[in-house]
Amino acid sequence: MSGRQIMTADEIRRATIRLSHEIVEKQAGTTGLLLIGIQRRGVPLARRIATSIAENEGVEVPVGALDITFYRDDLSMVAQQPVVKGTALPSGIDGRTVVLVDDVLYTGRTIRAAMDALVDFGRPQAIRLAVLVDRGHRELPIRADHVGKNVPTSREELVRVHVVEIDGEDGVEIERMVLEPAAEPVA
Amino acid sequence: MSIHIEPDASAGTLPAVPSVDVAPEAQAAAWRHRHLLDVDGLSGAEIDLVMRTTDAMREVLARPIAKVPALRGRQVTILFYEASTRTRVSFEVAAKNLSADVVNIAAASSSVAKGESLIDTVRTVEALGAHMLVMRHSVSGAPYLAAEVFGGSVLNGGDGWHAHPTQALLDLYTMREHLPGGSLEGRKVVILGDLLHSRVARSNIWTLTAAGADLWRCGPATLVRGFEAWAARGAAGRRFHVTTSVGAALRDADVVMALRIQRERMAAGLLPSLREYAARYGLTRERLALAKPDALVMHPGPMNEGVEIAPDVAAGAQSVITDQVTNGVAVRMALLYLLAGTHRGDAT
């Protein structure tokens, strides 16, 4: 990691356990609960929350993975199409409480896309949102129900979540974006 | 990539965690092409990207609402100068599944019948708002000419004897899907029939040999002309054989693809008769028995049943011909999606 660390592996572990308790408490149990991770780092986080719920409640909550690429609002603006990671939802989201899980909540555009994608699969009773890090700067009227850590940031900063399953280590770091050097003034 | 959709969660026990690919980011290949004119310019990594994107499209096709908004606001014009059912409809369904607006032009009932040139037609289509042009033409190379004047992306839906890239990619996808281990490496793949007139056969040479298949071409001497020289010249690391012996070709084959006898392109004297062709080269149950017991039977369609393939083989347990059609929609969705990214760029 190259930036300043704002969450250690232990802090991620504790935050994940707290999120799992909050989710179960809000639902008053596990009935009808469904965890859906947003590709890519939301997927391992959703699995960890499910594991934690299983340890505490003795119930296996179904976990799915959602790829929001086809629903992005900037697809007509990108020069190169993003690589699709794949979607695998447990069948039958009708009437269930779907908890979307993602690593970082920023503009809210990913969550907007995820909700559009979800309603194409059915009609959940409720959609909730759990994130490991909320860094602010929303551009849409969206907020998270469950937050691992609130981190004040500036738009010039990057927040990177690393998870063992993908990156080989756990941790959250923050770093200043390297801006392009200013162009030479035109004579 | 493997995606397993779990059984219905509401029925009794809750399902296990679905297995979803979270492979390292490093493998993500970039797509650099503005047009898809043939498969000869695609790298192995790009072919893999098409295959993986097709996996995602298959998942979309399995949804209760098999439609995503990825190409919303894009106009896809389908301009066919030759008869077609499956390719044209397949492109149309693919574009609609991605929420594109689809315009269909059949050359026979358009201004082409009044003598409009290809270039003028392409300019007109662009002026009418087309972002992507799917085109079929009886003249080899016609889509290359269209790509020179069209400002968006051109997808070749088949040109003359030359190329049929989406067919080659859907054939590859279907083989990978059905062969154990999902790989063509070292597999004996036989393409049997009218190779001379076949754009499917020409495009398939690139993708199948690149995937490591041991590729065999078989047909009467008059219909394999030109391919022997290609095989004899050889390309580094590619396995490619041409034979007129149907026995040598089929023996221990893993995949047998029969090609249509293209009567509309057939010059006189190439075949004594269709009956004689069927008797000597038709894919019958007896001939298929020479191949491995679980060999796949394929055909790009449309079939002349009783000529190049016997009806009981075409509909038999080893046939994956209808899978080819279904996979065709997913492959074309993948290609439309990938090409849509660069339509304003200057990449080739």
Three-class SS of chain B:
CCCCCCCCCCCCCCCCCCCCCCCCHHHCCCCCCCCECCCCCCCHHHHHHHHHHHHHHHHHHCCCCCCCCCCCCCEEEEEECCCCCHHHHHHHHHHHHCCCEEEEEEHHHCHHHHCCCHHHHHHHHHHCCCCEEEEEECCCCHHHHHHHHCCCEEEEEEECCCECHHHHHHHHHHHHHHCHHHCCCCCEEEEECCCCCCHHHHHHHHHHHHCCCEEEEECCHHHCCCHHHHHHHCCCCCEEEEECCHHHHHCCCCEEEECCCCHHHCCCCCCCCHHHHHHHHCECHHHHCCCCCCCEEECCCCCCECCCECHHHHCCCCECHHHHHHHHHHHHHHHHHHHHCCCCCCCC
Report helix angle B44-61 to B199-210, nearest 10.
Answer: 110
Q: Is residue A48 part of a domain?
A: yes
A63 to chain B, closest Cα gap in Å = 5
Report the DSSP beta bridge partners of residue B257.
B191, B298
Do B78 and B97 fall into the same domain?
yes
Q: Which two tokens stand for residue B251?
A: 């023996």
Q: What angle do CA B45, B59, B28 make, to 5 degrees?
A: 25
Residues B118-143: tens digit of each pLDDT: 999 999 999 999 999 999 999 999 99
Is B338 in the A-facing interface, judged by CB distances under 8 Å?
yes
Is A43 in the B-facing interface, judged by CB distances under 8 Å?
yes
Check: CB of residue B249 under 8 Å from CB of residue B215: no
Q: List Cα–Cα distances, A161 to A68, A132, A169, A172, in angstroms.
A: 19, 9, 10, 4
Check pLDDT > 50 for residue B30: yes
Q: Quick one: DSSP state of residue A88?
A: B
Domain that holds residue A65: 4-176
Q: What ipTM does this complex have?
A: 0.85
Residues B242-276: tens digit of each pLDDT: 999 999 999 999 999 999 998 877 777 788 888 99
CATH number of A44's domain = 3.40.50.2020
pLDDT at position B234 is 66
Nearest to B31 among A34, A71, A80 (CB): A80
Do B64 and B154 fall into the same domain?
yes
When divided into structural domains, chain B yields a total of 2
Q: Is residue A84 part of a domain?
A: yes
Strands A171-176 and B75-80: unpaired
Do B155 and B49 fall into the same domain?
yes
B window 38-67, beta carbon within 8 A of A:
49, 52-53, 55-56, 59-60, 63-65, 67
Distance of CA A90 to the CA centre of its chain: 18
**What is the distance between the alpha carbons of residues B136 and B83, in angstroms, rounded to a whole number?**
9
The helix (run of H) or strand (run of E) holding residue A150 is strand A146-150
Percent of chain B surpassing pLDDT 70? 88
* Segment B146-168 mean pLDDT: 96
Only one residue has tokens 């399995």, namely B62
Q: Which two tokens stand for residue B104?
A: 């269909």
Nearest to B20 among A60, A78, A88 (CB): A88
Which strands make up the sheet holding B75-80, listed edge to edge?
Answer: B101-106, B75-80, B132-137, B153-159
Q: Is residue B10 part of a domain?
A: no
**What is the distance between the alpha carbons of residues B342 and A22, in angstroms, rounded to a whole number?**
44
Do B95 and B146 fall into the same domain?
yes
pLDDT at position A180 is 60
Neighbours of B301 (CB within 10 A): 17
Contacts of B49 in chain A (CB under 8 A): 83
CATH number of B280's domain = 3.40.50.1370
Check pLDDT > 70 for residue B9: no
Is A40 in the B-facing interface, judged by CB distances under 8 Å?
yes
**Residue A147 contacts by C-beta under 8 Å, 6 or more apart in sequence?**
A105, A130, A131, A133, A134
Is B14 in the A-facing interface, judged by CB distances under 8 Å?
yes
Do B203 and B308 fall into the same domain?
yes
Q: Is residue B25 part of a domain?
A: no
Nearest to B3 among A88, A91, A92 (CB): A88
Do B261 and B223 fall into the same domain?
yes
Contacts of B7 in chain A (CB under 8 A): 91
Q: Is residue B315 part of a domain?
A: yes
Q: Give me the residues of chain A with pLDDT under 70, please.
A: 1, 179-187
The helix (run of H) or strand (run of E) holding residue A167 is helix A164-167
Nearest to A61 among B14, B20, B52 (CB): B14
What pTM value is reported for the model?
0.88
**What is the distance between the alpha carbons of residues B288 and B280, in angstroms, rounded to a whole number?**
13
* Segment B280-307 mean pLDDT: 96
Answer whether B3 sits within 8 Å of A76, measured CB to CB.
no
* Segment B305-312 mean pLDDT: 95
Do B171 and B319 fall into the same domain?
yes
Do B201 and B296 fall into the same domain?
yes
pLDDT at position A183 is 52
pLDDT at position B20 is 40
B325 to chain A, closest Cα gap in Å = 22
Residues B64-118: tens digit of each pLDDT: 899 999 999 999 999 999 888 889 999 999 999 999 999 999 887 777 777 788 9
Is A69 in the B-facing interface, judged by CB distances under 8 Å?
yes
Q: Is residue B242 part of a domain?
A: yes
The chain-wide mean pLDDT, for chain B, equals: 87
Q: What angle do CA B276, B278, B281 make, to 5 degrees?
A: 100
When divided into structural domains, chain A yields a total of 1
Contacts of A166 in chain B (CB under 8 A): 22, 24-25
Q: Which two tokens stand for residue B105?
A: 């032009």
Residues A17-38: tens digit of each pLDDT: 999 999 999 999 999 999 999 9
Do B135 and B275 fall into the same domain?
no
Domain that holds residue B55: 30-164+327-340
Answer whether A87 sits within 8 Å of B56, measured CB to CB.
yes
Short-list B57, B138, B42, CA closest to B90: B57
Neighbours of A154 (CB within 10 A): 11
pLDDT at position A182 is 54
Helix (H) and strand (E) counts in chain A? 4, 8
Q: What is the DSSP string of A47-72?
A: HHHHHHHHHHHS----EEEE--GGG-
- According to DSSP H, which parts of A8-108 are helical? 9-27, 42-57
Contacts of B55 in chain A (CB under 8 A): 86
Do B152 and B238 fall into the same domain?
no
Q: Is residue A83 part of a domain?
A: yes
Q: Which two tokens stand for residue B58?
A: 């298959």
Do B117 and B211 fall into the same domain?
no
Check pLDDT > 80 for residue B4: no
Is A165 strand, coil or helix? helix
Contacts of A83 in chain B (CB under 8 A): 28-29, 49, 52-53
B window 76-105, beta carbon within 8 A of A:
98
Do B181 and B293 fall into the same domain?
yes
Residues B228-237: tens digit of each pLDDT: 777 777 666 7
